[in-house]
Amino acid sequence: MSAEPACPGCGAVAETEIGRAGVCHLWRCGCGLVFADRATWRDPYAGSDYYDPAHQPEQSYPLRITATERDRIGTVRRFLTNGRLLDFGGGIGKTALAAHAAGFSAVVLEDSHKAVVEGRAHHPEIEWLEGREMPHSIADGSLDVVTMFHVLEHLPEPGEVLRQIGRKLRAGGLLVIEVPNWGSHVRRLRGLRWEFVLDHHLNHFTAGSMKPLVEQAGFERCAVEYRRTFSINEAQPWKEPMKRLLCALGFGDILRCAFRKTAA
């Protein structure tokens, strides 16, 4: 019934409808990207704030950084150890706090009014910006690092946002992107019952399908890493070797890639 939608990654017309999950009619493009048909999709959070108590438990401040956020900034520090870092879609700001603790000048850009107002009140050591697009107040070429943790899968037009980010980063600047890993064996085993097939996940990436989309925005890839779901929050270091082994065997359900902005 529905017309074949254009791929938000490469622009080609997708030919394979792989199924329906909730409000998402999922298609797979020849480039490997799996995406929800925008013509039929409806935003489950339209008109509401994601951090309202209806959607998320209330936060208690001051926030405490966990192993997850330290691990995220650890990936940044493989390449850069200081400078101005903006966490795009930074939520309540935990990742930015970890960046600040590691010596970065940290900025949160976040669409949730509630998260920004509360964050600004409790954590003034971070710069808070409200919005879902890069603001004009950030000068072109002025950022050293942009991070996007669990953001790219939510964006209706990921390529346009990546081009905006490319303009704000300096040449040689770093972009770190983390998303659920569609290429994981866990996803293959669970199919559309995989825990990351959600009404608000519009794009499903593998390392292979993310690479051309980001590189078209003026980047080159410098690292691919895998993690196991949020379990790094558990303070049980003895589990770490097992998690690393599972990731090496293809069971990492979190994909984290680092890119450098190529000289314009």
Helix (H), strand (E) at residue 30? none
State residue 67 phi and psi, 5-degree precision.
-60, -30
Least gap, CB of 12 to Zn ion (angstroms): 5
Contact with Zn ion (CB under 5 A) among 9, 158, 183, 218: 9
Q: Which residues pair with 219 in a beta bridge?
A: 261
Shortest distance (Å) from residue 9 CB to Zn ion: 4
Q: Does 10 bind Zn ion (CB under 5 A)?
A: yes
Residue positions counted in the chain:
264
Subset of residues 26 to 55 that bind Zn ion, contact rule: CB under 5 A: 29, 31, 33
Query: Least separation, in Å, of the C-beta of 110 and Zn ion?
Result: 29
Total of chain residues touching Zn ion, rule CB under 5 A = 7
CA distance 99 to 71: 11
Q: Which is nearer to Zn ion, 141 or 212 (CB)?
A: 212
Q: Is 7 in the site for Zn ion (CB under 5 A)?
A: yes
Strand pairing category for 169-180 and 105-110: unpaired
Strands 219-227 and 203-204: unpaired
User: Whole-number minimum distance, CB 54 to Zn ion, in Å?
Assistant: 35
CB closer to Zn ion, 14 vs 108: 14
Query: Does 101 sit near Zn ion (CB under 5 A)?
Result: no
Q: How far apart are CA 51 and CA 212, in angstroms?
A: 32
Closer of 10 and 223 to Zn ion (Cβ):
10
**Residue 202 binds Zn ion (CB under 5 A):** no
Please report, for residues 8, 67, 132, 210, the alpha-carbon distance to residue 96 in angstroms, rounded to integers and kept in the order given: 29, 13, 16, 24
Q: Pairing state of beta strands 34-36 and 143-149?
A: unpaired
Closer residue to Zn ion (CB): 4 or 133:
4
State the CB neighbour count (10 A cutoff) for residue 129.
17
Q: Give the residue with the Cβ less far from Zn ion, 30 or 131.
A: 30
Smallest separation (angstroms) from Zn ion to the CB of 158: 11
Taking the complex as a whole, the smallest distance from the CB of residue 16 to Zn ion amounts, in Å, to: 11
Q: Identify which of residues 102 and 152 has a Cβ nearer to Zn ion in the complex.
A: 152
Two tokens, residue 217: 């925005």
**What tokens does 166 get?**
């490319």
DSSP type of residue 48: S
Name the minimum Å distance from CB 169 to Zn ion.
Answer: 24
Work out whether 214 is an interface residue with Zn ion (CB under 5 A).
no
Of residues 23 and 31, the one with the C-beta less far from Zn ion: 31
Is 18 a residue that touches Zn ion (CB under 5 A)? no
- 227 neighbors 162 (Cβ within 8 angstroms): no
Stretch that binds Zn ion, among 21-29, 114-122, 195-203, 247-255 (CB under 5 A): 21-29
Contact, 178 vs 254, CB < 8 A?
Answer: yes
Contact footprint for Zn ion (CB under 5 A): 7, 9-10, 12, 29, 31, 33
